[in-house]
Amino acid sequence: MLDELIINCKNNLPLVNEELIKKAFQLSYESHKNDFRASGEPYFNHPYEVAMIVAKEISLDDISVISALLHDVVEDSEISIEFITKEFGKEVSEIVGGVTKIGGVFKGQEITKAENYRKLLLSMVKDVRVILVKFADRLHNMRTLEYVSSQKQRRIAKETLEIYAPFAHRFGLGILKWEMEDLAFKYLNKDAYDDIAKKIKDTRKDRETFIQRFSKPIREQLTEHGLKYEISGRPKHLYSIYRKMVMQNRPFEDIYDLLAIRVIIESNDSNDCYYVLGMVNQMYKPIADRFKDFISIPKKNNYQSIHTTVIGPEGKLVEVQIRTRKMHEIAEKGVAAHWKYKEHVGAQDQDLEDWVNWVRDIFENASKDEASKEIIASFKLNLFQDEIYVFTPKGDLRRLPMNSTPVDFAFEVHSSVGYHCIGAKVNGKIVPLDTVLHSGDQVEIITSKNQRPNKSWLQFLQTHKAKNNVRKFLNKEEEKIYDTGKELWEKKIKKLKLTFSSDDVTKLARKLKFDNHRMFYRAIAMDKLNLEQILNPEPEHEDKHVPEVAFDKFIDIARTSAGTVVVEGEHKGMAYSYAKCCSPIPGDPVIGYVTIGEGIKIHRRDCKNLINMLKSGEERLVPVSWPKANNNFFVAGITLRGDDVPGILKDISNSITTYQNTNIKSVNIATQDSMFKGTITVYVKDIEHLHKLIERLKKNKGIFTVERFDAENQ
């Protein structure tokens, strides 16, 4: 067995690593020696036959043959993919892993959209040899299908006819495609198969006699002119005859191209094909509207051949195909063969068409002594990589963008499923809602009538449909909150017998540091404002707004911990105070400004008031700085807002403490209506240290805003 495989490899492949093939043969044999197929044969016969198909009928490279020998080893034994990598290299392990993965895609699945399955296969592999080995695996399974149950026969045959055969067609593997179709036809419609097979058998002798009679003068003329050639009857496959009978609604006897011959010229000169055409036309009368010149005008995949139909003896029509040996090999084995030939393909396959043509060029231009491994190294499949194909629990396929999550999938199934999505199972395991899905995953959505879309979902959603639905929902919820706040406000002012115009509300909102009246009403609805205190303040509470008090307390602590500001130059020792307009905090770039009667005011360098005052002259500026010492830290404040989800405080703490061992001084978090707002004070080296912490915190899921604790933000 091994000797026969090695001989076929040497006869058909550019380079052969004999030792590695022997090693793979031995490992496969040992792994499967105790296993048997449904036919009763040793299981090892299967990987061996698959390797023979790869060597003889696909003829790609020795890596493919080795991968074919090992393609079931990982799935059926205790040998790991890591072991395959170590012993046979990364290329072999990637192909073996890919064949195993796509083999699992169809288990227990019902075929619904065959084209989607073909795209699914493409999206799951990076190396085209995965698919070629899978073709060989499927072909051998079809050749031995008689030994499995009738139900399994029909499932595998349908899968082959709808997915693998058209796929092989697009890769130009004509011989594999025709055999797959005929074998699938045999198990899906045995009566029709047997009927056509019998008619072909019954007419074979007459047909062969006629073809011999027809081709004899052509042979004599070609020999006389010194041309090397091969003439054969062109095989017509049972399934293609059946399809033509069905599509044209004609009986078997009327399918005219059952009579056909192929003339293959052992020459690289295409002009010889035209010479043969002239000879045939002199012997037999051609039918003008059935002449096709695919040599001067090749098909889109560069398929080249002359097709002509002539009237032979007894007035019978005979199709004659004329091509060179090279043209024939491309038509039979070239990966680009028969592209779009007698098949309707949608515009979405333009990328695949371009790529297949590129593959054809590689095979056409690669000489026998060229290092095939270098060619194969660039032979990678990169189509449909921006899409993934995932299953519903019932086996339906859904197409999604790359990096999609279970929530994207939920909205793809139905908007109501998306709205109430509370969890997901991927391949049977519960996963977080922001888990990235991959081609071939089976996704089950868990719903709850109490679940509602969350603003944090927008951070990981990929599909326009999901994002749009979530935004619509959030906008509706926001509108409800706004309406509730406005209603509470109007009830309150009515109760207190107060009158506020629209401008009055806007002015009040700004005074309370809200951007607009909508934000003001929102705060009322979420119980973040005490309307009683605002509209009817008691004397002891007047002018005491909680945010301002909290900020004042914070900056007192921050400045105290930093130490005394250093006033430099001739103004050293002069009294100073901090400007309330910009409230500088330790770590801010600062400058002093000499006032009349109030000593030096310490401002931030970017303070707007300071910039305006400088118009009267820069001579009042005094250089000042925060005290500098080794390992000196300032107290800085950070405000956060977000969703009150389990573990959020832990995530916040980790983000801070894992950066340069930052210490937290205090944490003050309040929650309300599944939201939280809080202030955290930390020890930082400088303002850059603070900015880094803010950026890290922003990356946490569930956090909406992270800002420096600043008077302007209160």
Catalytic residue (one of 4, 41, 76, 370): 76
Catalytic residue (one of 4, 35, 75, 82): 75
Alpha helix (H) residue ranges in 225-381: 238-248, 271-283, 325-333, 350-365, 372-377
Please give the backbone phi and psi of residue 609, each rounded to the nearest 5 degrees, phi first.
Answer: -60, -40
Residue pair 433/405 in contact by the 8 Å Cβ criterion:
yes
Residue pair 602/659 in contact by the 8 Å Cβ criterion:
no
Task: Output DSSP code: residue 162.
Answer: I
> If residue 455 lies in a helix (H) or strand (E), which one and from where to where?
none
Distance CA(655)–CA(648), nearest Å, equals 11
Distance CA(256)–CA(274), nearest Å, equals 24
Q: What string of H, E and C letters represents the secondary structure of 257-285? A: HHCEEEEEECCCCCHHHHHHHHHHHHHCE
125 CB-contact burial (10 Å; exposed 0-12 / middle 13-18 / buried 19+): buried
Distance CA(9)–CA(56), nearest Å, equals 7
Which two tokens mark 400? 């999604």
Is 76 a residue of the active site? yes
Tokens 């930093």 appear where?
562
Distance CA(656)–CA(220), nearest Å, equals 91
Distance CA(637)–CA(459), nearest Å, equals 26
Number of other residues whose CB lies within 10 A of the CB of residue 644: 16
Which two tokens mark 629? 């010492």
Distance CA(22)–CA(25), nearest Å, equals 5
Task: Output DSSP code: residue 50.
Answer: H
SS3 569: helix
- Bin 484: left if φ > 0, else alpha if -120 < ψ < 50, else beta: alpha
Distance CA(546)–CA(544), nearest Å, equals 6
The beta strands (E) that lie in 644-697 are given as: 664-672, 675-684
Q: Which amino acid is at 80?
A: S
Please give the backbone phi and psi of residue 430, each rounded to the nearest 5 degrees, phi first.
Answer: -70, 130
Which two tokens mark 435? 């888990």
Distance CA(12)–CA(59), nearest Å, equals 6
Is 208 a residue of the active site? no
- Bin 340: left if φ > 0, else alpha if -120 < ψ < 50, else beta: left
> If residue 92 lies in a helix (H) or strand (E), which one and from where to where?
helix 90-105
Residue pair 445/398 in contact by the 8 Å Cβ criterion:
no
Tokens 């063969």 appear where?
337
Which two tokens mark 637? 């404040």
| DSSP secondary structure string for all residues of 494-543 | HHTT----HHHHHHHHHHTT-SSHHHHHHHHHTT-S-HHHHHS--GGGTT
Distance CA(336)–CA(242), nearest Å, equals 25
Catalytic residue annotation: 75-76
